[in-house]
Amino acid sequence: MSLKPILIHPDPRLKKVADPIARITPEVETLAADMLATMYDAPGIGLAGPQIGVNSRIFVMDATRDPEAEPAPMVLINPEISWSSEAQNSYEEGCLSIPDQYASVTRPSEVRLTWLGLDGATHEREFDGLWATCAQHELDHLNGVLFIDHLSAMKRQMITRKMVKLKREQARG
């Protein structure tokens, strides 16, 4: 298990549509373990393949909010939304690829997802609250969409400029 560097926006690898995973192999299992370790270390509640430069349809999440609660790691491969609620919910979102920037994004408050699990079986489940927000945010990543793409062009450009500056500073060391 190893921690992977997380790509920071803007990066062309964050804007690609990711490829489906054909089957569960030991490499996919290792990838999932690395992604969970990287997500918990960050710390974050979700991480998608493209964020570590892997252009595959996989994301991990654990939106357990109570720090006392047992962790509930989830690995979703080739996820799809099979149903979204009419009801919408706004949540102050952030992203490990856009550090320290938060903005309110409105999305369906409940979604039903189908996905391939590490066990090789197809799973289906409904998510609400923070889990629903997180799942939709991560699924967006697999389609090259960032949460700032849901904001006005002005807000998006403002955040992007900050990230360009941050990356320039990081490059200088």
**Cβ 147 vs Cβ 97: under 8 Å:** no
Alpha-carbon span 53 to 38, nearest angstrom: 13
Task: Report CA-CA distances (Å) from 33 to 38, 39, 143, 167, 169.
Answer: 9, 10, 22, 27, 31
Note the Cα 10 to chain centre separation in Å: 16
Contact indicator for 164, 10 with CB cutoff of 8 Å: yes
> Of 31, 95, 132, 139, which one interacts with Zn ion (CB under 5 A)?
95
In the complex, minimum distance from the CB of residue 96 to Zn ion, in angstroms, rounded to a whole number = 6
- Least distance (Å) from Zn ion to the CB of residue 102? 12
How many whole angstroms separate alpha carbon 21 and alpha carbon 3?
21
Which residue number, 24 or 130, has a Cβ lying nearer to Zn ion? 130
Q: Which is nearer to Zn ion, 22 or 138 (CB)?
A: 138
Task: Find the shortest distance in angstroms from Cβ 160 to Zn ion.
Answer: 14
- Look up 126 and say whether it is catalytic: no
Give residue number: closest CB to Zn ion. Answer: 95
Q: Is 18 in the site for Zn ion (CB under 5 A)?
A: no
Q: Toward Zn ion, which CB reaches closer, 32 or 95?
A: 95
Query: Using CA atoms, how far apart are residues 118 and 128, in angstroms rounded to an integer?
Result: 23
Catalytic residue, candidates 70, 80, 138, 169: 138
Shorter beta-carbon distance to Zn ion: residue 117 or 144:
144
Between the two ends of the chain, the Cα-to-Cα distance in Å is 27
Beta bridge partners of 84: 111
Stretch that binds Zn ion, among 92-100, 105-113, 152-160, 164-172 (CB under 5 A): 92-100
- What amino acid positions are annotated as catalytic residues? 138
Which residues contact Zn ion (rule: CB under 5 A)? 95
